[in-house]
Amino acid sequence: MKEAASVCSVRTLRYLVPNAVTALSIVFAVLAIQAAVRGEIVWGAWWALYSTLTDKLDGALARWLRASSPLGMQLDSLADLLNYGLAPATLTYALFARERALGWSEGLPYVLLCTICVVYVLCTALRLARFNISPSNPSFFFGIPSTMSGASVLSILITLGKYGDPAWTAGERYAGPRLLGQVRLDGVMPFYPLLLLAFGVAMVSRWRVPKVGHLRSRAANVYVIGNLMVGYTCGLLRTLPEYLAFGLLQYVFIAGYAHFFTTPKVRPEPLFPKE
């Protein structure tokens, strides 16, 4: 009996470890939303960006421990929806509904802001649901992955705050040097909700986005993976959001090139079953 109980406890622990890491991602999402409610936009964005670390770690642990499970897969999707869907939309709403100078806090623009935030979350949910039921392609995704979309819009938001009007993120600090020097991006920030909408649409598009390490050029793969490692370090240290944003946007352009010139011309399965 004791031996059977010991084996059961070891097996439970083996499955518990990756799921606990996924649960930590959900904690990050809650902290991000709480920060948004307090008006701490930068802190909120960094909390959500931390989940890009745990998002990779839980999968790696599940494979290493041979502890993949349907429960873990569903939990991971829920964490992604919160961090890369709800958190960016909540942070965007919190900032733009508050700052009148950005032009989205009243009248029709306010209605559009609310609509964009809702559409972005719905696109994230649809992207994750489609991914869960579609056969996995070994070399590319259909539509920008929710992780890439969320990390892109969050790092861009922090960058625009860092190089914009200090009043937008008053009381918050930006660690590390200013890679762009004294450049000001005040004029770009008002268009940010439209960028959020664009990334939402890109998630549910037929765009064929190569998986990391599956580009045809070995040099390009090394470059992308190297940038990714530096980006993870920046995210962990909560510094250089401009580097993160630049690296992610580079991959978006690489994905666009791959869609037209290097990936097979196939389409995703229809969203709804054919009669």
Q: Per-domain residue ranges for the chain?
A: 2-261
Contact 175, 95 (CB under 8 A): no
DSSP 3-state of 134: coil
What is the pLDDT tens value at each position of the chain, 275 positions in all? 545 445 455 566 777 888 888 999 999 999 999 999 999 999 999 999 999 888 888 777 778 877 777 777 888 999 999 999 999 999 999 999 999 999 999 999 999 999 999 999 999 999 999 888 776 666 788 899 999 999 999 999 999 999 999 999 988 989 889 999 999 999 999 999 999 999 999 999 988 898 888 888 888 889 888 988 999 999 999 999 999 999 999 988 888 888 888 888 888 777 666 65
Per-residue CA distances from 221 to 59, 117, 259 (Å): 21, 33, 16
Token pair recorded at residue 202: 């890109």
pTM as predicted: 0.91
Return the half-sphere exposure (C-beta side, CA atoms, 13 A cut-off) of residue 58. 27
User: Percent helix, strand and coil across the chain, each rounded to 5?
Assistant: 70, 5, 25
The pLDDT value recorded for residue 275 is 59
The pLDDT value recorded for residue 4 is 47
Rounded Cα–Cα distance for residues 27 and 9 (Å): 25
